[in-house]
């Protein structure tokens, strides 16, 4: 198997590695060029060329995931760009170009998939576009053949600075103050792929100094952060969230990041740690900021513990930014359309939303599509945020075991909380994105 080389860390070149890659055309064109040279070079060299070509294109197109599907006699490649899958390549499979085997070897797997189902996960690192890109590989045996998904972790795309995540000036000022509290717990919530891990990293990076001890518990550790002690959860070896937390608390921490809270033990230890002089950041799976409290109730956490340790919560989603090359100006929606849109909302919230949409002075945009954005009308993404800060009235509701909608209404009324939808509308008003995109992303929440 020396022929294949071993799992590659950094830049140890494999045979054929130095061959120039033609990136001028599309992936399809590059692929057919490689296919044309069949017979003139060993299959392995072509597979190396092809996997390099795929990854180069993935980085250039800002893809977060590359799906390689062998469906019967066909090879299909799709990229996830700005959260949406796009077809990149569809062609009869070339048995003489062993692409999947090449990627399996890079990921540290055996070249051929195991005969019986086994969960396979691996990773490798590669220099692409002048920087080290980490790739996490997952293999899945479908009835049609193996499916590989490559998660492309590009630090440059991620933007680990708090200034880059998409918070506006007001929210930024509040957050920066909040994350400098000496103790307490701050929650971030959002669906998978909402950018919450990025926000957590950006927060840690923002407060990181040699004078404080920051420890994280993660599953998995996605990025290595300089000067921060990161640990990986491993349920198999008994290093669970709760066990990890107990260990961390004996390591004299100032700041603790817990990747996720999903059970009573982890919740209780975290909240108690927040009461005893530690600052904690964590994520929890709920639909919005206010429902975090109900989720903690469900886990069995006593209200007094939540009320006395919680600093606040932030909910977030990623929205696509409208393509600056082809977007067009748009008139604001008519009042009847807006009335229809807000009619099922809480009346106070609906009133604010209506005013926000119709207030004069907006520069709304609508997407069109051009070669630059692959006819999608959008390019890149940014966050929308719902920041709920604790205050006396919310705390009182928590102690009364109040339901989510009461807490949400109170946060809007007394804390001037902007919901995800409101924050999104503000972004649409300035032409960063479109109202259609905001409605698409927040549709399940109103
Ligand atoms: Zn465009």
Percent of the chain having pLDDT more than 90? 71
Are 92 and 74 in contact by the 8 Å Cβ rule? The answer is yes
| 77 shares its domain with 115 | yes
| 79 shares its domain with 93 | yes
Domain C-terminal end among 130, 154, 178:
154
326 CA to centre of ligand 1 in angstroms:
4
159 CA to centre of ligand 1 in angstroms:
22
Using the predicted structure, report yes or no on whether residue 412 has a pLDDT greater than 60: yes
379 CA to centre of ligand 1 in angstroms:
7
| 97 shares its domain with 173 | no
| 359 shares its domain with 409 | yes
- Higher-pLDDT residue of 387 and 164 is 387
437 CA to centre of ligand 1 in angstroms:
15
pLDDT at residue 11, rounded to an integer: 36
CATH of the domain at 229: 3.40.50.300
pLDDT at residue 18, rounded to an integer: 41
331 CA to centre of ligand 1 in angstroms:
19
pLDDT at residue 50, rounded to an integer: 94
Using the predicted structure, report yes or no on whether residue 313 has a pLDDT greater than 90: yes
Using the predicted structure, report yes or no on whether residue 2 has a pLDDT greater than 50: no
pLDDT at residue 158, rounded to an integer: 60
pLDDT at residue 37, rounded to an integer: 87
Using the predicted structure, report yes or no on whether residue 126 has a pLDDT greater than 50: yes
| 165 shares its domain with 149 | no
| 201 shares its domain with 225 | yes
| 297 shares its domain with 439 | yes
Domain span including residue 349: 159-445
| 321 shares its domain with 391 | yes
426 CA to centre of ligand 1 in angstroms:
22
Query: What is the count of structural domains for the chain?
Result: 2
Domain C-terminal end among 92, 126, 154:
154
pLDDT band at 338 (very low <50, low <70, confident <90, very high): very high
Rounded to whole angstroms, how far apart are CA atoms 183 and 278?
5
Using the predicted structure, report yes or no on whether residue 12 has a pLDDT greater than 50: no
Burial category of 283 from C-beta neighbours within 10 Å (exposed 0-12, middle 13-18, buried 19 and up): buried
pLDDT band at 175 (very low <50, low <70, confident <90, very high): very high
Domain C-terminal end among 154, 180, 207:
154
| 175 shares its domain with 249 | yes
| 146 shares its domain with 168 | no
127 CA to centre of ligand 1 in angstroms:
29
pLDDT at residue 14, rounded to an integer: 39
pLDDT band at 23 (very low <50, low <70, confident <90, very high): low
Using the predicted structure, report yes or no on whether residue 428 has a pLDDT greater than 80: yes
CATH of the domain at 84: 3.30.450.90
| 181 shares its domain with 149 | no
| 172 shares its domain with 73 | no
Q: pLDDT, tens digit, for every residue of 86-100?
A: 999 999 988 889 999
Residues with CB under 5 A from ligand 1 (ion): 323, 325-326, 370, 372-373
- Of 62-66, 222-226, 294-298, 328-332, minimum mean pLDDT range: 222-226
Mean predicted confidence (pLDDT) in 417-439? 96
266 CA to centre of ligand 1 in angstroms:
46
Q: pLDDT, tens digit, for every residue of 195-217?
A: 898 899 999 999 999 999 999 99
- Of 181-185, 233-237, 246-250, minimum mean pLDDT range: 233-237
């Amino acid at each position: 198997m020396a022929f294949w080389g071993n799992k590659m860390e950094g830049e140890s070149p494999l045979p054929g590695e130095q061959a120039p890659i033609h990136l001028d055309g599309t992936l399809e064109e590059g692929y057919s060029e490689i296919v044309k040279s069949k017979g003139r070079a060993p299959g392995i060299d072509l597979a190396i060329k092809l996997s390099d070509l795929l990854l180069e294109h993935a980085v250039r197109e800002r893809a977060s995931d590359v799906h390689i599907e062998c469906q019967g006699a066909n090879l299909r490649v799709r990229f996830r760009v700005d959260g949406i899958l796009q077809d990149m390549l569809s062609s009869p499979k070339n048995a003489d170009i062993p692409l999947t085997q090449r990627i399996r070897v890079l990921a540290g797997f055996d070249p051929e998939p195991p005969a019986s189902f086994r969960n396979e996960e691996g990773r490798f690192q590669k220099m692409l576009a002048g920087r080290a890109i980490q790739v996490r590989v997952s293999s899945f045996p479908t009835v049609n053949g193996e499916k590989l998904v490559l998660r492309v972790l590009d630090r440059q795309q991620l933007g680990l600075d708090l200034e880059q995540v998409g918070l506006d000036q007001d929210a930024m000022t509040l957050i920066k103050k909040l994350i400098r509290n000496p103790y307490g717990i701050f929650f971030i919530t959002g669906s998978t792929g909402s950018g919450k891990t990025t926000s957590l990293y950006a927060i840690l990076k923002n407060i990181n100094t040699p004078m404080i001890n920051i420890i994280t518990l993660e599953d998995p550790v996605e990025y290595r952060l300089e000067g921060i002690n990161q640990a990986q959860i491993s349920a198999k070896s008994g290093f669970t969230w709760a066990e990890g937390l107990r260990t961390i608390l004996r390591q004299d921490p100032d700041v603790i990041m817990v990747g996720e809270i999903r059970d009573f033990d982890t919740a209780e230890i975290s909240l108690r740690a927040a009461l005893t002089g530690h600052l904690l950041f964590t994520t929890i799976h709920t639909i919005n900021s206010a429902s975090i409290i109900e989720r903690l109730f469900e886990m069995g956490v006593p209200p007094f513990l939540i009320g006395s340790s919680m600093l606040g919560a932030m909910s977030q989603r990623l929205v696509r930014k409208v393509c600056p090359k082809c977007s067009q100006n748009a008139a604001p929606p008519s009042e009847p359309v807006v009335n229809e849109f807000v009619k099922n909302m809480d009346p106070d919230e609906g009133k604010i939303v209506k005013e926000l949409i119709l207030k004069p002075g907006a520069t709304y945009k609508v997407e069109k599509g051009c070669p630059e954005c692959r006819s999608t009308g959008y390019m890149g993404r940014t966050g929308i945020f719902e920041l709920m800060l604790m205050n006396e009235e919310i705390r009182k509701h928590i102690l009364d075991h109040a339901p989510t909608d009461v807490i949400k209404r109170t946060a809007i009324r007394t804390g001037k909380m902007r919901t995800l939808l409101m924050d999104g509308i503000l972004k649409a008003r300035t032409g960063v994105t479109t109202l259609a995109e905001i409605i698409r992303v927040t549709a399940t929440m109103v």
